[in-house]
Amino acid sequence: MKLKGWKEVTPGAVVTEGGSALKFKTGSWRAFRPRWIEENCIQCLFCWIYCPDMAVKVKDGKMTEFDYDYCKGCGICALECPGKKGNKAIIMEEEGK
Amino acid sequence: MAKVVAATGNEAVADALRQVNPDVSSAYPITPATDIMQRFTSFVSNGKVKTEMILVESEHSAMSGCIGASAAGGRVMTATSSQGLALMWEELFIASGTRLPIVMALVNRALSAPLNIHGDHSDGMGARDCGWIQLWSENGQEAYDNTIQAFRIAEHMDIRLPAMVCLDGFIISHSIERIEYLDDAAVKNFVREFRQLYPLLDMEHPVSYGPLILPDYYMEFRRAQAEVMTKVPKVVLDVAKDFEKISGRKYGLFETYRLDDAEVALVILNSAAGTSKDVIDSFREKGIKAGLLKPRLYRPFPYEEVGNALKNLKAVCVLDRADAFGGSYGPMFADIAASLYPYRERPLLINKIYGLGGRDYMPSHAELVLNELVEIAKTGKAKTLKEYIGVRE
């Protein structure tokens, strides 16, 4: 992407395009990585609702996988995950381990 | 038909705001600005304006409320003084960086400590580089006129920057003067309908405010903001021309008083300029070529025009009603010095700090300074470059 010059930027840094977060991959910020444990998943989609970005991929009404291009590792999905019978379906693991 | 009234500076600003009838105001009381919002909230309660009034718990929230309302698409105003402005500090930069044309009356008051509620310019001078347009006012009439013009300047499509209108605490805010009010309809017509560039509430065109801008783009946004500042003086003059048509009152980037053929001059802001003009007259009667320059548009500072107006003088004193601790000189002195720097031939400059915390500025102070300037013009030598006047040893 060619970077814009100062005469081309929007006044006040207002973002005038909806859904432009799609263009910015922020996965490299992550220190902790969510891991999905399918057998503990009840498909409540809390992870999808709570994810502040678009890191939870849903197909046909079901969680299918994480999109690590957009996951900053905030851990909200793991915190909110009710799991099954006390076992979390999402756990956070340190990157690089 | 214009109406002549006896009103305080605060009352005049409140009436100007009533006539502008902004969409939203978010404010918190602080002496000596309280009176503006007290009067304005009465207008809200009595149905004189349609403004949505947000009463908040601090000035930090007051300016935050203004920012939100302005981004949403409203015409927004507030008022504050001293510590209130200080508490708004981070929001001031957010308002200007986001290019939100909020109008604020700043009733100038000394900053703590020591605690003081009276007029000086330390609050406005402290915020002079926060990206807001600053218009300074000598008296209640100018505060009224500047408030109305500030909306047109701030909201101009080439500008879109917040603007503060400064007036001296108590000396102007609480003193009754003869003031000419414009018709409500004339003001309404003058300020026109407000249209936000990117209203958050426009559901058809969704926008996001306040994104994170990293080193790859931050400088481009700042460069663009600096460019907008260069366009302000022309807009200020255009708006002044339109304002003259409805009021008969002339405004420029600054006011000169008997300056054209002057050899010595004072540069001084706000109410003390009024006091000084009388003294200039008495010096002129004695055959001394004395004059005065009173800045009006202080940010952006019209360096070129001010330098041009002062360059042929022999000696000039910049009187600052605020000090810049550790900066050697008062804040306005530094601006005047920068205005004159490009000229090989230029007047000798001295700096006096006066009137802090509401200390009276007397005609005798102006006389003392003008006599010193006459001596400097004669000898070509200045004894003291900067000193406090009206202070006990």
Scanning the structure block, which residue is given the tokens 């481009």?
A: B220
User: Do the chains contact at B220 and A4, CB–CB below 8 Å?
Assistant: yes
What is the Cα–Cα distance from B63 to A58, expressed in whole angstroms? 41
User: Do the chains contact at A12 and B97, CB–CB below 8 Å?
Assistant: yes
Torsion angle (degrees, nearest 10) of CA B329, B335, B336, B337: 60
Question: What per-residue confidence (pLDDT) applies to B81?
Answer: 98
* Residues in A touching B219 (Cβ below 8 Å): 6
**Contacting B residues, span 64-83, partner chain A, CB-CB under 8 Å:** none
Tens of pLDDT, residue by residue over B313-329, are 999 999 999 999 987 89
Question: What per-residue confidence (pLDDT) applies to B1?
Answer: 62
The yes or no reply on domain B3-247 and CATH 3.40.50.720 is no
Give the helix/strand (H/E) hosting A78.
helix A76-80
Nearest to B206 among A5, A13, A18 (CB): A18
User: Do the chains contact at A4 and B99, CB–CB below 8 Å?
Assistant: no
Nearest to A12 among B98, B206, B219 (CB): B98
User: Do the chains contact at A14 and B98, CB–CB below 8 Å?
Assistant: yes
B158 touches chain A (CB under 8 A): no
Q: pLDDT-derived band of residue A18, with 50, 70 and 90 as boundaries?
A: confident
Domain extent listing, chain B: 3-247, 254-388
Question: What per-residue confidence (pLDDT) applies to B285?
Answer: 98
Q: How many CB atoms lie within 10 A of CB B184?
A: 15
B223 touches chain A (CB under 8 A): yes
Tens of pLDDT, residue by residue over B358-374, are 999 999 999 999 999 99
Least confident segment among A17-26, A34-43, B244-253? A17-26
B287 touches chain A (CB under 8 A): no
Report whether pLDDT(B14) > 80: yes
* Residues in A touching B209 (Cβ below 8 Å): 12, 14-15
B10 touches chain A (CB under 8 A): no
Nearest to B220 among A5, A12, A15 (CB): A5
Question: What per-residue confidence (pLDDT) applies to B313?
Answer: 98
Task: Give the minimum alpha-carbon distance from B28 to chain A in angstroms, rounded to a whole number.
Answer: 26
Question: What per-residue confidence (pLDDT) applies to B327?
Answer: 79
Tens of pLDDT, residue by residue over B188-215, are 999 999 999 999 999 999 999 999 999 9
**Residues B77, B102 contacting (CB under 8 angstroms):** yes
* Residues in B touching A3 (Cβ below 8 Å): 216-217
What is the Cα–Cα distance from B74 to B55, expressed in whole angstroms? 17
> What's the whole-number mean pLDDT along residues A40-58?
97
CATH code for the part of the protein at A37-97: 3.30.70.20
Determine the residue among A1, A2, A8, A9 to mutate to test chain B binding: the one whose Cβ has the most chain B Cβ atoms within 10 Å.
A9
B215 touches chain A (CB under 8 A): no
The answer to whether B3-247 and B254-388 have equal CATH topology is: yes
Determine the residue among A8, A10, A72 to mutate to test chain B binding: the one whose Cβ has the most chain B Cβ atoms within 10 Å.
A10
User: Do the chains contact at A6 and B100, CB–CB below 8 Å?
Assistant: no
What is the number of alpha carbons within 13 Å of residue B105 lying toward its C-beta? 40
Nearest to A15 among B97, B197, B207 (CB): B207
User: Do the chains contact at B100 and A13, CB–CB below 8 Å?
Assistant: no
User: Do the chains contact at B209 and A5, CB–CB below 8 Å?
Assistant: no
Helices (H), chain B: 9-20, 34-45, 59-72, 82-87, 89-97, 122-126, 140-155, 184-191, 218-247, 271-285, 303-310, 331-340, 363-379
Q: Is A23 left (phi over 0), alpha (psi -120 to 50) or beta?
A: alpha
Among B267, B321, B317, B297, CA closest to B109: B321
3-state secondary structure B105-139: EEEECCCCCCCCCCCCCHHHHHCCCCCCEEEEECC
B216 touches chain A (CB under 8 A): yes
Task: Give the minimum alpha-carbon distance from B222 to chain A in angstroms, rounded to a whole number.
Answer: 8
Question: What per-residue confidence (pLDDT) applies to A19?
Answer: 85
Which of helix, strand or coil describes residue B163?
A: strand
Give the A-side interface with B, CB within 8 Å: 3-7, 9-16, 18, 20
CATH code for the part of the protein at B254-388: 3.40.50.920
Question: What per-residue confidence (pLDDT) applies to B221?
Answer: 97
Report whether pLDDT(B160) > 90: yes
User: Do the chains contact at B220 and A15, CB–CB below 8 Å?
Assistant: no
> What is the interface pTM, i.e. ipTM, of the complex?
0.90
Determine the residue among B201, B225, B228, B229 to mutate to test chain A binding: the one whose Cβ has the most chain A Cβ atoms within 10 Å.
B225
What is the Cα–Cα distance from A50 to A80, expressed in whole angstroms? 8
- The one-character DSSP state at B239 is H
What pairs with residue B352 in β-bridges? B319, B387
Nearest CA in chain B to A15: B208
Average pLDDT, chain B: 97
Report whether pLDDT(B385) > 80: yes
- The one-character DSSP state at B319 is E
Task: Give the minimum alpha-carbon distance from A55 to chain B in angstroms, rounded to a whole number.
Answer: 19
Domain extent listing, chain A: 37-97
What pairs with residue B181 in β-bridges? B3
Report whether pLDDT(B243) > 90: yes
Task: Give the minimum alpha-carbon distance from B61 to chain A in angstroms, rounded to a whole number.
Answer: 20
Average pLDDT, chain A: 95
Scanning the structure block, which residue is given the tokens 């009388």?
A: B278
User: Do the chains contact at A14 and B224, CB–CB below 8 Å?
Assistant: no
